Structure 1
Amino acid sequence: MGEAKYLFKLSLFGQQYGFSENIVIQWVIIILFGVLSILFTRGLKRVPGKKQAVAEMIVEYTNSFVKSNIGEKYTELVPYVGSLILFLLAMNLTGLVGIEPPTMDYSVALGMALTSFFIIQVYAIKKVGIGHYFLGYGKPVAFLAPMNILERILLPVSLSLRLFGNMTAAATIMTIIYKGLEGITWFAQLVIPIPLHVYFDIFDGAVQMIVFTMLTMINLKVIVEH
């Protein structure tokens, strides 16, 4: 949504491709988590040190989160759910360092939603077989098949609009607050927004991550067990 802010462009095979701020921010987050994962899992020991203990705590928390919400038989999803939690949370919290959250860009929110959508469909086919998967569209009665198809197609739309809308609203409110404080003093801009950042950046960013992740897991469970 809105005009793309390209940091640089590359020409490949006669076509020019622009790389926006949001793409670069996502690359930075991916590289950062990649480096951290290597550092925290290097030289694993039976008796964990501090770094290994942190890594194990994250894995155990994610494992418990998946089991308690959709059941023990879905622990195969722990790597994806853990990655989704960390990646979404990191993107949503970039406002704390003065960078607009990438999830304010609808293309980013839609990309995340489509990724979850395809993970859900592929995992469901893997679990129940392609025949049973397509038969599920006709349950509980065959004439509801069009409604079931529409419901699944609208999932990425619903996920993306919810994430995009809430993150954009929070960032817009913070921008209005800073604009309103311009006429007072620089000290007002420095101090007054702090509790608002706690709510609109940390709390709202965490809530949107939880909602997105929970809806992904619940939809997967519903489709697999339909």
Structure 2
Amino acid sequence: MNLVGSEGFGPRIVFTLRDLPFVGDIPVSETVTVTWMIIFVLLVFSIVATRNMKREAKGLQLVVEQIVSVVNNLTKQNMGERNYMWAPFVGTLLFFIGISNIIGLLGFRPPTGDLNTTMCLSITTFVLTQFFGVKSKGLGGYGKGFLQPMPFLLPLNIIGELANPVSLGFRLFGNITAGIIIMSLLYGALGSLTDSLFGLAVPLFQVGVPAVFHIYFDMFAGLLQSFIFTMLTMVFISGAME
């Protein structure tokens, strides 16, 4: 697995599944492998955190219950009491994107730095929005919403609806990729600075100096973007159902 900034800006092919029946060779990118890692970590954490649960919460169970309470309240505040059922999806989306965004702190390329990932997430939101909008209002009632406030605005309303997943996916991708590129350029500049000042091949300035920038681009911006994506998802879905 290559470290972020070691070469290029795009996801790399980590390994290839060879000679598969009917499909042949399938290259597996770093995005896919890191996504598998995140899913595995979330799965293991969910199993461990919910085993041997007791009536009086303490330790890990207390932490998990507080997290669930926060997600439940967030869902109720943004989607209403009647849409409380969306809390598990909201929590999963929030934690998956959040971990994907900050995993660069461990030297891996964030899966959300790949447009394929962010567009899949945004398309999922789009499909859920349309499906539950129709389910809640009926096909005719949902279709009438595109004629508001005036019927001649139908084309613009359709374009606006189709633009939502595009803007949602590109916003997350753009912010995370920008951080990857800036950190890559920073590491390159610090490596050149060490060579020019001391004539050493050892990148001394790459130790410690980038930490502050990692805190902003990986931690702060990453968690912020996961929150924004999740909030917009709740707004789109609840808006379509009202």
TM-score by length of 1: 0.92
Instruction: Quote the offset at 1:61 in angstroms.
Output: 0.5
Match of 2:237 among 202, 220, 225: 220
Match of 1:36 among 36, 42, 45: 45
Instruction: Quote the offset at 1:213 in angstroms.
Output: 1.0
What is residue 197 of structure 1 aligned with on the other side? 214
Corresponding letter in the other structure for 1:203: F
What is residue 226 of structure 2 aligned with on the other side? 209
Instruction: Quote the offset at 1:32 in angstroms.
Output: 1.1
What is residue 45 of structure 1 aligned with on the other side? 54
Aligned equivalents of 2:139, 2:34: Cα separation in 1: 37
Which deviations, in whole Å up to 9, do the C-alpha atoms of 1:80-112 show, x marking residues without a partner? Answer: 110000000111011101111111111111111
Corresponding letter in the other structure for 1:120: T
- Which region of structure 1 is more displaced relative to structure 2, 45-54 or 166-175? 45-54
Match of 2:142 among 116, 119, 133: 133
Instruction: Quote the offset at 1:208 in angstroms.
Output: 1.0
Structure 1 spans left out of the alignment, 5+ residues: none
In 1, are the aligned partners of 2:11 and 2:31 still within 8 Å (CA)?
no
Corresponding letter in the other structure for 2:206: Q
1:169 partnered with 2:168: no
Aligned equivalents of 2:34, 2:28: Cα separation in 1: 10
In 1, are the aligned partners of 2:76 and 2:84 still within 8 Å (CA)?
yes
Higher normalized helix content (fraction of residues):
1
1:108 partnered with 2:126: no
Secondary structure of the 1:191 match is: coil
Corresponding letter in the other structure for 2:138: G
Aligned equivalents of 1:27, 1:141: Cα separation in 2: 47
What is residue 12 of structure 1 aligned with on the other side? 21
In 1, are the aligned partners of 2:30 and 2:109 still within 8 Å (CA)?
no
Aligned residue pair count: 225
- Which region of structure 1 is more displaced relative to structure 2, 15-24 or 87-96? 15-24
Aligned equivalents of 2:224, 2:23: Cα separation in 1: 43
- Which region of structure 1 is more displaced relative to structure 2, 77-86 or 59-68? 59-68
Which deviations, in whole Å up to 9, do the C-alpha atoms of 1:37-74 show, x marking residues without a partner? Answer: 01111122221231221221111000111222232222
Instruction: Quote the offset at 1:9 in angstroms.
Output: 2.4
1:68 partnered with 2:77: yes
Corresponding letter in the other structure for 2:123: L
What is residue 186 of structure 1 aligned with on the other side? 203
- Which region of structure 1 is more displaced relative to structure 2, 212-221 or 135-144? 135-144
Match of 1:56 among 65, 81, 103: 65
TM-score by length of 2: 0.86
Instruction: Quote the offset at 1:192 in angstroms.
Output: 0.9
RMSD value over aligned CA atoms? 1.8
Secondary structure of the 2:15 match is: strand
Corresponding letter in the other structure for 1:72: E
- Which region of structure 1 is more displaced relative to structure 2, 72-81 or 125-134? 125-134
Aligned equivalents of 2:99, 2:119: Cα separation in 1: 17
- Matched-pair identity in %: 36
Aligned equivalents of 2:101, 2:169: Cα separation in 1: 14
- Which region of structure 1 is more displaced relative to structure 2, 179-188 or 59-68? 179-188
Aligned equivalents of 1:3, 1:83: Cα separation in 2: 24
Aligned equivalents of 1:79, 1:130: Cα separation in 2: 27
Structure 2 spans left out of the alignment, 5+ residues: 1-8, 195-201
